[in-house]
Amino acid sequence: MTANTNAPETSDLADDVLPQGFRFAGVKAGIKASGKPDVSLIVTDRPAVAAGVYTTNQIVAAPVVLCRSRTPTSSFRGVVINSGNANACTGDQGDQDAARMTQIVADHVGCRADDVLVMSTGVIGHQLPMEKVAAGTVDAYGKLAAGAEAFSAAATAIMTTDAFRKVQWGNVTIGKNTYKIAAMAKGAGMISPNMATMLSVVITDAPLDENTCQFALKMAADESFNRVSVDGHTSTNDTLLLISSGEGESLSGDDLSTFQQTLNDVCIRLAKLLVADGEGCTHVLAIEVSGAASDTDATLIAKTIAASPLVKCAITGGDPNWGRIVSAAGYAGPTINPKQTSLKICGTLIYENGTPLPFDAKALSQAMKASSEVLIELAVGKTGASAKYWASDLTNDYVNFNSEYTT
Amino acid sequence: MTANTNAPETSDLADDVLPQGFRFAGVKAGIKASGKPDVSLIVTDRPAVAAGVYTTNQIVAAPVVLCRSRTPTSSFRGVVINSGNANACTGDQGDQDAARMTQIVADHVGCRADDVLVMSTGVIGHQLPMEKVAAGTVDAYGKLAAGAEAFSAAATAIMTTDAFRKVQWGNVTIGKNTYKIAAMAKGAGMISPNMATMLSVVITDAPLDENTCQFALKMAADESFNRVSVDGHTSTNDTLLLISSGEGESLSGDDLSTFQQTLNDVCIRLAKLLVADGEGCTHVLAIEVSGAASDTDATLIAKTIAASPLVKCAITGGDPNWGRIVSAAGYAGPTINPKQTSLKICGTLIYENGTPLPFDAKALSQAMKASSEVLIELAVGKTGASAKYWASDLTNDYVNFNSEYTT
């Protein structure tokens, strides 16, 4: 087998990276005051397999409730997505509006509303402007097309505070077949995953049955979207879908493992784009924790470091104030071994087995400032358990942006 | 009984609010580059009872390790405190330095080193400048005095990033005796308590035996310092001491309850001063959660709201973006009832039983901006369980301050 993926830094999407069997549209419906695109639609030419993973927040948006009840499925036909309004904390009216969005799509596609999914993203606690949403959905249906341009339009219309469009893709050859995976995501704030974070749709033409699709997506989420943090705030709307238009026998065994590897890779690159575009982000923290009692413990320690405002601010300023990192590990919860705790920042060993080492603070500060991704390697013992995590730093721009959002 | 306490907003300390049997000093030892006071000493005239509660961080500073092994005690004679250096993550050398600080005090007081406690606060991971610390300790011993001026000097020399000195006091009359409680604290960042936060010394002349002293202090910490958060980062050095110079039979029963009430009150007011002085703080969030399954659940929900950067930034900007508060409750962990979730900000009901209510966003925003303490009342069900929590907001000043600390 071979697996090819695009570099994370490029997003030059071409028609031939997209799996067959999908059509896309993104339109302006006037939901956003800015007048930017705000309704996306993705439909499949035939019934397809779809799986989803969703926010673990107990306060869930109406679209999440609906999608949870409709996935996994092997009769998927479409998903409609609006940005500019999250349809969260909107009571019974919100539930009715989410259902109506899927009904409108179903009426045009000629399928059951149950075969259509829905996502919303934006401000919480406002009722959807349903006339605009409905008109936008109909408009999007009329503009459905295959190809990169339409895919990009759909990826653009799901953005909210995102500074750039987030798409990734890859392909995997199994036997004589080459399968494609393409994915889009949005998200720049309220990002601290638990299951999935933000909105993301991954499409493929690899054949997957319902259970396999669900399993593969959960695996990929745990390695990617569940390992990034912007602000430690788990959203009410997080939804990640995997849609397969593939026909024939479902992948399994080694073939599935090969597919999984590429799926994980696409999702990891997409998740890292979320962090890089974290509100106000100037540096990505790449946190690698080793030596914990288990991988789960290592993940929790890495997540705690990722969430510390003091650590984030130190990275913002290129400040090798490493005590903040070590002390965050100490309050994370899992048992650590302080006398076997060691730390490297940008490859420089500065704390070894509980004792500080002399280092050139000025040189390290310059290295940190110059790195768009600051590598933090923390050992908290001598075991083989480890975890990776990615986070954004904390800047004035984050504060300014989030101090003036709804008003 | 009667209990009198000073108003939180005043700190006009007079000699007669201080319990008898204590002497204090605060001096400049040159540990801080700024040249500000950095060594404090508190001694008792006779052996006294002392109890401590400490950080739950697994990465603990050398002074915390030492104090833990020496409290509770009924032979306490003194505590030496340096600011400007936390003596944390300093390996064996740090342990030796902490022990030596107590030995120097013991040599002058004429007691065992075991009867002396020690605290340090400041940057993590640098060895103490022991010549300066030793000379400062000797200097402080020579300047010991009773009275408000000396108490203030001691409270000043423990400050690091604090914008103002934090002292509180109260008295309680039991039978024909009036007992006094006076307390000092420092802390403005790396504040998210678990047991105690920051450094604080509470002194009293109420008679307490070792176990009673320890119990009363733990109770007070749980109601005060364990309910405030600046940045969610639990320090390596948190230490809270209660020292009693009282003689005769220990308080117990109703008398102890009366004393406890005043002790709690003094500690709550002191803890709220920490939040009000939180790095860059412009508004205090006063969070009241009700209707959870237990008080513990309510506390965890309140703490999660207090730690959300999105909630903090909304308060900074006077933005009634209430979905951030409700969604934080949803990811806190404890089970909540979304259909019985209601929210008031500054007394205005804006979300009731899972449904948003119309409200005057502009008027509420103005009320939030005008309130130095923004009241957030969240119900997550109909039970009687509840909790209070206090937190600082998140501002550019916090980010700027913490982006440039060691370098």
Give tens-digit pLDDT for A208-223.
Answer: 999 999 988 988 888 8
Residues B216 and B364 in one domain: no
Picking from B58, B190, B338, the nearest residue to A59 by CB comes out as: B338
Cβ-defined contact of A402 to B313 (cutoff 8 Å) = yes
Which pLDDT score, from 0 to 100, does residue A321 have? 86
Which pLDDT score, from 0 to 100, does residue A195 have? 38
Chain B residues with CB-CB distance to A308 below 8 A:
231-233
Cβ-defined contact of B231 to A310 (cutoff 8 Å) = yes
Last residue of a domain, one of B220, B251, B276: B276
pLDDT > 90? residue B283: yes
Highest mean pLDDT among A177-191, A232-246, B339-353: B339-353
Closest residue in chain A to residue B305, using alpha carbons only: A233
Chain A residues with CB-CB distance to B361 below 8 A:
406-407
Provide the CATH number for the domain around residue A380.
Answer: 3.10.20.340
Give CA–CA dist B309/B393, Å, rounded: 8
pLDDT > 70? residue A262: yes
Residues B250 and B314 in one domain: no
Residues A52 and A201 in one domain: yes
Cβ-defined contact of B399 to A328 (cutoff 8 Å) = no
Token pair for A45: 């030419």
Which pLDDT score, from 0 to 100, does residue B233 have? 73
Please check whether residue B211 is in contact with residue B33, taking contact to mean a CB–CB distance below 8 angstroms. no
Cβ-defined contact of A308 to B356 (cutoff 8 Å) = no
Q: How would you label B118-148 residue by residue, b for 16+ Cβ within 10 Å and e otherwise?
A: bbbbbbbbbebbeebbbbbbbebbeebeeeb
Cβ-defined contact of A313 to B355 (cutoff 8 Å) = no
Percent of chain A topping pLDDT 70: 94
CB atoms within 10 A of CB A389: 25
* A322 min Cα distance to partner chain B (Å): 8
Confidence of residue B271 (pLDDT cuts 50, 70, 90): confident
Residues A105 and A243 in one domain: yes
Task: Tally the residues of chain A.
Answer: 407
Residues A228 and A106 in one domain: yes
Give CA–CA dist B234/A387, Å, rounded: 22
Confidence of residue B150 (pLDDT cuts 50, 70, 90): very high
Chain B residues with CB-CB distance to A394 below 8 A:
309, 399
The whole-number average pLDDT for the span A27-49 is 96
Last residue of a domain, one of A247, A276, A305: A276
* B24 min Cα distance to partner chain A (Å): 31
Rg of chain A on CA atoms, in Å: 22
The whole-number average pLDDT for the span A354-376 is 93
More confident residue, B229 or A268: A268
pLDDT > 90? residue B344: yes
Q: H or E element: which one contains A90?
A: none
The residues of A annotated as belonging to the active site are 197
Cβ-defined contact of A91 to B355 (cutoff 8 Å) = yes
Last residue of a domain, one of B257, B276, B295: B276
Which pLDDT score, from 0 to 100, does residue A3 have? 40
pLDDT > 70? residue B358: yes
Tens digit of pLDDT for each residue in A42-63? 999 999 999 998 887 888 889 9
For A61, counting Cβ atoms within 10 Å of its Cβ (0-12 exposed, 13-18 middle, 19+ buried), the class is: buried
Domain count, chain A: 2
Give CA–CA dist A288/A385, Å, rounded: 11
The answer for residues whose C-beta is within 8 angstroms of residue B222's C-beta and 6 or more apart is none
More confident residue, A238 or A311: A311
Please report, for residues A241, B222, B264, the alpha-carbon distance to residue B299 in angstroms, rounded to integers and kept in the order given: 35, 11, 17
Please report, for residues A40, A256, A294, B99, B124, the alpha-carbon distance to residue B278 in angstroms, rounded to integers and kept in the order given: 43, 52, 35, 31, 19
Cβ-defined contact of A407 to B365 (cutoff 8 Å) = yes
Which pLDDT score, from 0 to 100, does residue B195 have? 38
Residues A270 and A388 in one domain: no
Cβ-defined contact of B317 to A402 (cutoff 8 Å) = yes
Please report, for residues A214, A316, B230, B369, the alpha-carbon distance to residue A396 in angstroms, rounded to integers and kept in the order given: 40, 10, 17, 19
Reduced to 3 states (helix: H, G, I; strand: E, B; else coil), residue A319 is: coil
Mean pLDDT of chain A: 89
Residues belonging to the binding site of B for substrate are 160, 186, 197, 279, 402, 407
| Interstrand relation of B373-379 and B342-345 (parallel, antiparallel or unpaired) | antiparallel
A279 is in an annotated binding site: yes
Q: Which domain holds residue A9?
A: 3-276
Of A207-221, A229-243, B275-289, B370-384, the one with minimum mean pLDDT is A229-243
Which pLDDT score, from 0 to 100, does residue B400 have? 86
Picking from B310, B341, B398, the nearest residue to A233 by CB comes out as: B310
Confidence of residue B279 (pLDDT cuts 50, 70, 90): confident
Picking from A89, A91, A327, the nearest residue to B59 by CB comes out as: A327
Reduced to 3 states (helix: H, G, I; strand: E, B; else coil), residue A47 is: strand
Token pair for A256: 């599935």
Active site includes B262? no
Confidence of residue A274 (pLDDT cuts 50, 70, 90): confident
Residues B16 and B156 in one domain: yes
* A373 min Cα distance to partner chain B (Å): 17
Please check whether residue B212 is in contact with residue B250, taking contact to mean a CB–CB distance below 8 angstroms. yes
**φ, ψ (nearest 5 deg) of residue B210:** -55, -50
Chain A residues with CB-CB distance to B326 below 8 A:
59, 89, 124-125
Confidence of residue B23 (pLDDT cuts 50, 70, 90): very high
Chain B residues with CB-CB distance to A322 below 8 A:
124-125
**φ, ψ (nearest 5 deg) of residue B367:** -65, -40
* B9 min Cα distance to partner chain A (Å): 27
Please check whether residue B127 is in contact with residue B93, taking contact to mean a CB–CB distance below 8 angstroms. yes
Residues A80 and A162 in one domain: yes
Catalytic residue from among B102, B137, B161, B197:
B197
* A41 min Cα distance to partner chain B (Å): 26
Provide the CATH number for the domain around residue B176.
Answer: 3.60.70.12
Give CA–CA dist B407/B343, Å, rounded: 43
Residues B308 and B383 in one domain: yes
Residues A267 and A294 in one domain: no
Residues B253 and B290 in one domain: no
More confident residue, A94 or A193: A94
pLDDT > 90? residue A199: no
Tens digit of pLDDT for each residue in A77-87? 999 999 999 99
Which pLDDT score, from 0 to 100, does residue B275 have? 85
A131 is in an annotated binding site: no
pLDDT > 50? residue A194: no
Residues A263 and A356 in one domain: no
Which pLDDT score, from 0 to 100, does residue B406 have? 57
Closest residue in chain A to residue B62, using alpha carbons only: A354
Token pair for A220: 């990929």
Chain B residues with CB-CB distance to A89 below 8 A:
323, 326-327, 351, 354, 356
The answer for residues whose C-beta is within 8 angstroms of residue B296's C-beta and 6 or more apart is none
Token pair for A316: 């913002």
Which pLDDT score, from 0 to 100, does residue B286 have? 94
Interface pTM, i.e. ipTM:
0.74
Amino acid in position B177 = N
Which pLDDT score, from 0 to 100, does residue A405 have? 56
